Amino acid sequence: MSKVLEIKDIHAKIGEKEILKGLNLDLEPGKVHAIMGPNGAGKSTLSKTIVGHYDVEVTEGEILYKGKSILDMEPEERALEGIFLSFQHPVEIPGVNNAYFLRTALNAKRKHEGKEELNAAEFLREMKKYLEMLGMKADMISRSLNEGFSGGEKKRNEILQMLILEPDVIILDEIDSGLDIDALRAVSEGINLMKDGKRSFLVITHYSRILDYIKPDYIHVLKDGRIIKTAGPELVAQLEEHGYESIVEEA
Amino acid sequence: MRLSELKNKTLPEAAALLGADEKAVALERFMQIGLPNKKSEEYRYFQVEKLLDKAYRTLTYVPKPIEEAEKIVIVDGIVTHAPHGMRVYYEQCQAMDMTHFDPMYYLGHLLSPHVIKIDLDGDTDVEIEHHYTQSGALIAYRIVLINQANRHATLFESFHDEGVKDALVLYGYDTFVAPDSTLRILKNQKMEAEGYAMITSHRLQLEQRANAVIKSFDMGAGMGLQLIKADLDRYAHIDAGHLLYLNGEAQRGTVSKIIHKGEHSTSNQEAKNILDGTSRGIFDALIKVENSAKWTKAHQNSKAILLHERAYMAAKPQLEIYIDELEASHGSTTGQLDEKQLFYLRSRGISETEARKMLVIAFANTLIEQIKDSRQQEVIKTTFEEAFYAGEKDMA
């Protein structure tokens, strides 16, 4: 199969406003696709559309994941099938223990795959290696989910979930926002660990900084609800130098 | 006996009905306020008349020898067990609050031939198990709690109904929190739809620099109202927390008056309410700051989550303030589960049903996890989960 995710002529609105206006995009297995674009272009709406966010209403088009339509699937079904979104602003959930949440999510996935569920001790053993790699303090998993976490800690926690759940399509929405250099490096290491030549990445970003750490195979420019250009990594330099306006002129 | 028979009675008639002395101060106060009805401020959200109109058997309270046990056990208002060396005894109530707002406080005293007095000596943790075994009975008893200055005591209360039906329990404590001491009272109560109904009427007197922690965890179905009056002297502090998880046709909650009388006294009251089915939750709470209570700090908050469109929350936080030099706040919100939180969990492969359960339990945990003792915390968590899963099963 040459495409793991096929987005075909998607039109989507939030409230009464149409944000995606006939967007086409194919993700190839094992490739890193970066989506760049100005504010308000529809980058976050695209990620929300793929994972089935309640804000978004798809009015036209189709999304196929491994050849199967996902538009009628619930968000949890899409996740269990292997689609993962790292949120730009992960929500805080006081009272839900982080470890308990992670184990529930992992066991839901394992159950879906017909594997045996992990008990608390097995799970903690499994997690320990990732915590160290991401530079996360041990107490972060015993605290409430994202409650009182700094911006960097929240993003590391997103990556921790990604590492544990081992999804096939990974959408990283502004993963670099609010990260200092050390956090950016730790997060990038986590992401690169997942690059196994099979998984696909959709990296949504404003800036090219993250792309120094996660080497993209394709750059897509999203503007006004559509992909207006797709090129190789060399496009980043052009965007840096001339901005998004230059792309509009080329299109 | 039907308590509604006390309606419109003269003082001698009421005394005869209750078997009380006509000159009893409690009777005088009770007659002054009158039997509660749906127009009474404190009972306006609670169908008290339904309970007062029922006929109940009255019980005779004959004290028994108290056996030694790890905890205090009270069966139908009679102490059966107590820890070795703990002073638990019966006596006539010496110090009734003559300014309590609740008529059932006085009626409870009038119907109880004596009070159970518990002296909390030194730093101590005590567990009280209340058992009710008499269906169709009117069970009335009261406790007087005394602790010692500079000491820290914790009381953990649990309630066990052993399948009783249609009983009415009138219970409450008069508590005197000594200067510079801490008294923590944790109440864990799961009730059933057809079991006993309960009106608890408490009075707390906090002396100078006293610290009281009152946490109630009310779960399940049935009818139950707790009415609390707390008076705070100088530098006294009260921390009150109330968790409600209701299902079925439950009507339960808290009516309270926290009265700041002394300077620099502080209070913090927090209610978390989770309502399912056609249940009704009540949080009708007043914080009053008298003109003698300068530099008071008083904060009050109620949050409710409605899990069913027919569930109802009566939240009425109130401040009554007679001075300018203070810090005070109050607030109340009623809503549904947070959509963003629900989506976040679902986006990780957790089913909607499971995600909803996690969020409800999380909401309750923010209050349960304030309990420092991990064993007591676990007991309350277990009770909550039992009530929650039983409620889910009923709804299915």
User: Which of B340, B346, B348, B366 is most worth mutating to test chain A (most A CB atoms within 10 A of its CB)?
Assistant: B348
Chain B residues lying within 8 Å of A101, measured CB to CB? 345, 348, 358
Predicted local distance difference test score (pLDDT) of residue B393: 63
Alpha-carbon separation of residue B232 from A1, B135, B206, B214 (angstroms): 74, 38, 5, 14
Burial class (CB in 10 A: 0-12, 13-18, 19+), B111: buried
Contact status of B374 with chain A (Cβ, < 8 Å): no
| Beta strands B137-147 and B115-120, pairing class | parallel
Chain B residues lying within 8 Å of A108, measured CB to CB? 348-351, 354
Among chain A residues, CA nearest to B370: A95
| Beta strands A93-97 and A56-65, pairing class | unpaired
Contact status of A142 with chain B (Cβ, < 8 Å): no
Of A76, A94, A108, the CB nearest to B362: A94
Chain B residues lying within 8 Å of A149, measured CB to CB? none
Residue B191: which residues within 8 A CB-CB, separation 6 or more?
Answer: B159, B161, B198, B218, B219, B220, B221, B222, B223, B224, B250, B252
Contact status of A148 with chain B (Cβ, < 8 Å): no
Residue in A69, A63, A73, A60 with CA at minimum distance from that of residue A13: A60
Interface of B with A in 283-342 (CB under 8 A): 338-341
CA distance B99 to chain A (A): 39
Chain B residues lying within 8 Å of A93, measured CB to CB? 341, 344-345, 359, 362
- The Cα B72–Cα B82 span in angstroms is 4
Contact status of A80 with chain B (Cβ, < 8 Å): yes
Predicted local distance difference test score (pLDDT) of residue A29: 94
Contact status of B346 with chain A (Cβ, < 8 Å): yes
Local confidence pLDDT in tens for the 396 residues of chain B: 899 999 989 999 999 999 888 778 899 999 999 999 989 999 999 999 999 999 999 998 888 899 999 999 999 999 999 999 899 999 988 889 999 999 999 999 999 989 999 999 889 999 999 999 999 999 999 999 999 999 999 999 999 997 899 999 999 999 999 999 999 999 999 998 889 999 999 999 999 999 999 999 999 999 999 999 999 999 999 999 999 999 999 999 999 999 999 999 999 999 999 999 999 999 999 999 999 999 999 999 999 999 999 999 999 999 999 999 999 999 999 999 999 999 999 999 999 989 998 999 899 988 998 898 889 999 999 999 888 887 666 555
- The Cα A235–Cα A238 span in angstroms is 5
CA distance A44 to chain B (A): 15
| Beta strands A17-27 and A5-14, pairing class | antiparallel
Contact status of B380 with chain A (Cβ, < 8 Å): no
Contact status of A1 with chain B (Cβ, < 8 Å): no
- Can you tell me the ipTM of this complex? 0.95
Of A95, A105, A144, the CB nearest to B348: A105
Among chain B residues, CA nearest to A77: B349
**Which tokens go with A149?**
């976490």
Share the mean pLDDT of chain A: 91
Q: What is the DSSP string of A167-232?
A: -SEEEEESTTTT--HHHHHHHHHHHHHH-SSS-EEEEEESSSGGGGTS--SEEEEEETTEEEEEE-
- The Cα B325–Cα B321 span in angstroms is 10
The sign one gets for the Cα dihedral A104, A106, A112, A116 is negative
Contact status of B357 with chain A (Cβ, < 8 Å): no
- The Cα B170–Cα B312 span in angstroms is 25
Please report the beta strands in chain A, taking only residues with DSSP state E, as ranges in sequence order.
Answer: 5-14, 17-27, 32-36, 56-65, 68-69, 83-86, 93-97, 144-145, 169-173, 200-205, 218-223, 226-231
Among chain B residues, CA nearest to A93: B341
CB contact under 8 A, A104 and B354: yes
Complete domains list, chain A, with CATH: 5-250 (3.40.50.300)
A-B interface: how many C-beta pairs under 8 angstroms? 71
Residue B172: which residues within 8 A CB-CB, separation 6 or more?
Answer: B105, B108, B142, B143, B200, B201, B202, B203, B227
> What residues form DSSP beta bridges with B168?
B138, B197
Of B338, B349, B364, the CB nearest to A108: B349
Contact status of B243 with chain A (Cβ, < 8 Å): no
Q: Which residues of chain A have pLDDT under 70?
A: 1, 248-251
CA distance A98 to chain B (A): 11
Q: Between helices B339-346 and B352-368, what is the axis angle to 10°?
A: 120
- The Cα A164–Cα A141 span in angstroms is 13
Predicted local distance difference test score (pLDDT) of residue B21: 84
Domain limits, chain B: 3-336
pLDDT tens-digit series, residues B343-381: 999 999 999 989 998 999 899 988 998 898 889 999 999
CB contact under 8 A, A75 and B347: yes
The owner of tokens 């006939």 is A22
Of B350, B355, B366, the CB nearest to A95: B366
Predicted local distance difference test score (pLDDT) of residue A194: 86
